[in-house]
Amino acid sequence: MKFEKLALLPEILKAVEEKGYTDTTPIQSRAVPAALAGRDILGGAQTGTGKTAAFALPTLHLLEKSLGEGASPRALVLAPTRELADQVAESFKEYGKYLDLIVRKVTGGAKMSAQHSNLAAGCDILIATPGRLMDHITRDSVDLSKIEILILDEADRMLDMGFINDIKTIIGTLKQKSQNLLFSATYGHDVEQLARKILDNPMAVEVAKRNSAASDVKQVLHWVDRGQRFDLLLHLIQEQQWYQALVFVKTKHSADRVASDLMKAKIPAAAIHGDKSQGARNRALKNFKSGDLQILVATDVAARGIDLHDMSHVVNFELPQIPEDYIHRIGRTGRAGKSGVAISLVSFSEKNQLLKIEKILKSQIPVEVIPGFEPKHDVETLRGKNAKESAEKKSTGKKTAGRKGGTSRGGGKKPADRTPSRGPKASKVSKAANERKSGGRSKAAPKGRSAAKGKSGRRARG
């Protein structure tokens, strides 16, 4: 569908044309007309599908058609991270540059006083991270009573980061009924529960199967021993001559270490994570986009909102603890109709995380063996056994766990454990995962503002 057929204001169409866009993406062709008609929307789409324009264009149109009075914002967009908020704010400004609408942004990493002054000066559209918006709400420096349109972008990630209570509080401050749009790449119980709470007879707009990977991304798995993981990464970069790649790790410490080791190997690299200042994160992204950096190493939180259309490779140096994050990670490549490659370097200790990811994908990630980096364990055979047992359990519906006393429900002997016992490293991973789910903080976790908050109360800072 051509943009000109969407019945948008001429000023918006002019801005869209200047960005080089003529045809809509599937989510835009379905979501924009529904939003223009005033419908609530439940949108399912990965990054790189034109999702931002799908809600930005109708929001700009509706607000321009009914100019309000006063300094209070009339549209609110919530995003999980500063980087995504930056990207969304920039899109609104570009698409609305010929309109009389003011766009403001409030995120962590910037001075509260400056943001307070900007909010007092007034705006039509406010883009915010939940944590920083809550700071302004508690200080009574923002008025949300005039909100007409509420948009939750990447709702799944906001809930993963522990923002559910903040989101509920923010919604509770809205004084009038609003048109609500919720977009999410994955659907879990929490997302569906939130959707039922805030959406009124929504139009479901899904451009791919739920919890599915982008079709333009080739997925590859390399089994590797933990101690050889960095050597394999370096081998792939050099042998396959990657121009640029985004490398995902689980922790801030890992990000710094991998980036430092790459620099020692004469590979231009930088790390971005929550402990980096906003200025440092912006410089790293700028240098990466300009081509001065070959590798960008990032944690999941810091990478949200990175908009890189020409990213050819994404690497899971370590698998994510939350299976749905895998889909978000590999969605950084294969954007805007271009193909990409997502490579996972998986060690024996991560076999359980891999099975959870493949359960969501409903398929196994193809394995490629790199000569010289074959793992000691026959993990592929083990993965096949576990997958077969899982399928058999699902088809029969019978529980395999035995009762106390060593007997199964069928009265037979309790089956022996088919998997090797987990070593101390795997136990630590399991412990970290449990702490993350419960919202607790491990002893080694940093106590700074960027520490992520679980669903029990603490929140990550946007």
> What domain count does the chain have?
2
Radius of gyration of the chain (CA): 23
Task: Write down the pLDDT at residue 391.
Answer: 54
CA-CA distance, 302 to 273, in Å (whole number)?
5
Q: Are 266 and 325 in contact (CB under 8 A)?
A: no
pLDDT for residue 431 is more than 80: no
Is 451 inside any structural domain?
no
Mark whether 276 and 182 lie in a shared domain. no
| Higher local confidence (pLDDT), 455 or 341 | 341
pLDDT for residue 306 is more than 70: no
DSSP secondary-structure letter at 413? Answer: B
Task: Write down the pLDDT at residue 66.
Answer: 82
Q: Are 460 and 441 in contact (CB under 8 A)?
A: no
Torsion of CA 199, 200, 205, 206, to 10 degrees: 50
What burial letters (b/e) apply to 158-177, b meaning 16+ CB within 10 Å?
bbbbbbbbbbeebbeebeee
pLDDT tens digits, 123-138:
999 999 999 999 999 9
Mark whether 15 and 137 lie in a shared domain. yes
CA distances to 21, 45, 46, 312 from 339, rounded to whole Å, are 19, 17, 14, 7
Q: Are 265 and 234 in contact (CB under 8 A)?
A: yes
Mark whether 160 and 230 lie in a shared domain. no
Is 51 inside any structural domain?
yes
Residue 442's pLDDT band, with cuts at 50, 70 and 90, is very low
pLDDT for residue 399 is more than 70: no
pLDDT for residue 430 is more than 60: no
Is 399 inside any structural domain?
no
Q: Which amino acid is at 284?
A: A
Mark whether 199 and 344 lie in a shared domain. no
Among 152, 182, 206, the domain boundary falls at: 206
Q: Is 94 helix (H, G, I), strand (E, B) or coil?
A: helix
Task: Write down the pLDDT at residue 29.
Answer: 93
pLDDT tens digits, 53-85:
999 999 999 999 887 677 899 999 999 988 889
Residue written as token pair 């949300």? 144
pLDDT for residue 427 is more than 50: no
Is 415 inside any structural domain?
no
Give the percent of the chain with pLDDT over 90.
50
Please tell me the least confidently modeled range out of 94-103, 216-225, 320-329: 320-329
Among 165, 182, 206, the domain boundary falls at: 206
Give 41-74 as a 3 state SS string.
Answer: EEEECCCCCCHHHHHHHHHHHHHHHCCCCCCCCC
Is 359 inside any structural domain?
yes
Residue 44's pLDDT band, with cuts at 50, 70 and 90, is confident
Count other C-beta atoms under 10 Å from residue 157's C-beta.
Answer: 25
Task: Write down the pLDDT at residue 354.
Answer: 94
Residue 437's pLDDT band, with cuts at 50, 70 and 90, is very low
Is 410 inside any structural domain?
no
pLDDT for residue 14 is more than 90: yes
Task: Write down the pLDDT at residue 82.
Answer: 86
Residue written as token pair 């707009």? 205
Mean pLDDT, residues 202-227: 79
Which residue range(s) make up the domain with 149? 3-206
Count other C-beta atoms under 10 Å from residue 455's C-beta.
Answer: 18
Q: Which amino acid is at 175?
A: K
Mark whether 128 and 228 lie in a shared domain. no
> Is the pTM higher than 0.75?
no
- DSSP-assigned letters across all residues of 351-406: HHHHHHHHHHHTSPPPB---TT---SS-HHHHHHHHHHHHHHHHHH----PPPTTS
| Higher local confidence (pLDDT), 459 or 250 | 250
Q: Which domain CATH number covers 335?
A: 3.40.50.300
What value does the mean pLDDT of the chain take? 81
pLDDT for residue 230 is more than 90: yes
CA-CA distance, 327 to 425, in Å (whole number)?
25
Q: Which amino acid is at 15?
A: A
Mark whether 32 and 169 lie in a shared domain. yes
Please tell me the least confidently modeled range out of 44-53, 79-88, 102-111, 256-265: 44-53
pLDDT for residue 461 is more than 80: no
Mean pLDDT, residues 364-381: 85
Q: Which of 121, 316, 291 is nearest to 221 (CA)?
A: 316
Return phi, psi of residue 332, to 5°.
Answer: -75, -15
Return phi, psi of residue 150, to 5°.
Answer: -115, 130
Task: Write down the pLDDT at residue 304.
Answer: 62
Encoded tokens for 365: 């990630």
Return phi, psi of residue 406, to 5°.
Answer: 90, 15
Give the percent of the chain with pLDDT over 70.
76
> Can you state the percent helix, strand and coil of the chain, rounding each to 5?
40, 15, 45
Mark whether 67 and 196 lie in a shared domain. yes
Residue 302's pLDDT band, with cuts at 50, 70 and 90, is low
Mark whether 255 and 152 lie in a shared domain. no
CA-CA distance, 151 to 115, in Å (whole number)?
21
| Higher local confidence (pLDDT), 161 or 437 | 161
Mark whether 163 and 278 lie in a shared domain. no
CA-CA distance, 455 to 437, in Å (whole number)?
7
Mark whether 79 and 162 lie in a shared domain. yes
pLDDT tens digits, 332-369:
776 656 678 999 999 999 999 999 999 988 889 999 99
Q: Is 350 helix (H, G, I), strand (E, B) or coil?
A: helix
Task: Write down the pLDDT at residue 209.
Answer: 56
Residue 47's pLDDT band, with cuts at 50, 70 and 90, is low
Q: Are 41 and 93 in contact (CB under 8 A)?
A: no
pLDDT for residue 255 is more than 90: yes
Is 411 inside any structural domain?
no
Q: Is 346 helix (H, G, I), strand (E, B) or coil?
A: strand
CA-CA distance, 61 to 9, in Å (whole number)?
6
> CA angle, corner 227, sides to 218 and 213, nearest 5?
20
Is 76 inside any structural domain?
yes
pLDDT for residue 424 is more than 50: no
Length of the chain counted residue by residue: 462
Q: Which of 48, 68, 44 is nearest to 181 (CA)?
A: 44
Mark whether 287 and 374 lie in a shared domain. yes
Among 206, 238, 269, the domain boundary falls at: 206
Return phi, psi of residue 314, to 5°.
Answer: -125, 135
Mark whether 20 and 65 lie in a shared domain. yes
